Amino acid sequence: MTTSLEMVLITGMSGSGKSVALHALEDAGYYCVDNLPPELLTAFTDLQIQHGATRKVAIAMDVRSATSLPQVPEQLQQLRSQGVAVRSLFLDAGVDTLVRRYSETRRLHPLSRPDTLDQHRALVDAIELERELLQELRDQSHALDTSVIRPAQLQAYIKALISAPATQLTLVFESFGFKRGVPLAADYVFDVRMLPNPHYEKELKSLTGRDQAVVDYLREHQPVADMLGDIERFMDRWLKALALDHRSYVTVAIGCTGGQHRSVYLVEELTRIFSSRWNTLKRHRELDSLPT
């Protein structure tokens, strides 16, 4: 059985930005349903297929459906066997970020106990329990770390991800700065802080790895070329195996100190190299988060 129905399932930590993601999908023409109980997923999908009311749907589920969430991975596999193009995205964020967001909004976490005297400890415990309950879903989804990105940045990332073909592996290269932490959602992380740093060249300090002067500087140094070649060979060796393992997305994070020069340059080069072989996306976490 085949169908032209496209489905995006959004799950993730409470406070990680699922509402923002749904708004992005709604803007992209998806019919969106928030907090659909897992028990209704199959019936809802059958209804969409039978009536053909829409060809693109997005569904958000969260830990409020904790008792029935374990059945979701099997349901998704069943939908794929029926020809539904399913993408599963998991939004994540660090504990400190989630605690700060809940403190700012004064909302109560779905798993919190309001009668607890130490509300901070109760919130941290609730977050850790939620992460444990959602781990299986996270393992089978493409994860996005929203800890240090703006809502507009998250919306752009979501739209870019769903624009890639659903039936093929998509390779995502992301630059970042270690001083703001390692992306939680990265499948591979390469540390390039040992490479020559344009930050210490006065005329290059304010530029980025996308500027020609920085590109020329980095191309003059053999260790940069060696690092680029090593990452290319490693990914080239293992991507076919990852594709055969039915992976939809693979995120490769390249980190330098500030996420401005070396990591940006390498992400640009790797995207150029691999774009002729795979569906490829690029992100620059620190540059993308700058005000426009």
Query: What are the residue ranges of helices labelled H in the chain?
Result: 18-27, 41-51, 72-81, 95-105, 119-133, 135-139, 151-163, 212-219, 222-244, 262-274, 285-288
Q: Minimal CA–CA distance to 36: which of 2, 71, 1, 4?
A: 71
Asked if residue 14 belongs to a known ligand binding site, the reply is yes
Asked if residue 181 belongs to a known ligand binding site, the reply is no
Q: What is the CA radius of gyration of the chain?
A: 21
Asked if residue 276 belongs to a known ligand binding site, the reply is no
Asked if residue 64 belongs to a known ligand binding site, the reply is yes
Residue 117's pLDDT is 56
Asked if residue 61 belongs to a known ligand binding site, the reply is no
Asked if residue 13 belongs to a known ligand binding site, the reply is yes
pLDDT average, residue stretch 91-106 = 90
Quick check: 36 pLDDT over 70? yes
Residue 49's pLDDT is 81
Residue 222's pLDDT is 98
| CA terminus-to-terminus distance, the chain | 47
Quick check: 1 pLDDT over 90? no
Asked if residue 12 belongs to a known ligand binding site, the reply is yes
Residue 8's pLDDT is 94
Asked if residue 81 belongs to a known ligand binding site, the reply is no
Residue 46's pLDDT is 87
Asked if residue 282 belongs to a known ligand binding site, the reply is no
Quick check: 243 pLDDT over 80? yes
In sign, the C-alpha dihedral spanning 257, 209, 207, 181 is: negative
Domains located in the chain, CATH noted = 6-163 (3.40.50.300), 170-289 (no CATH)
Asked if residue 62 belongs to a known ligand binding site, the reply is yes
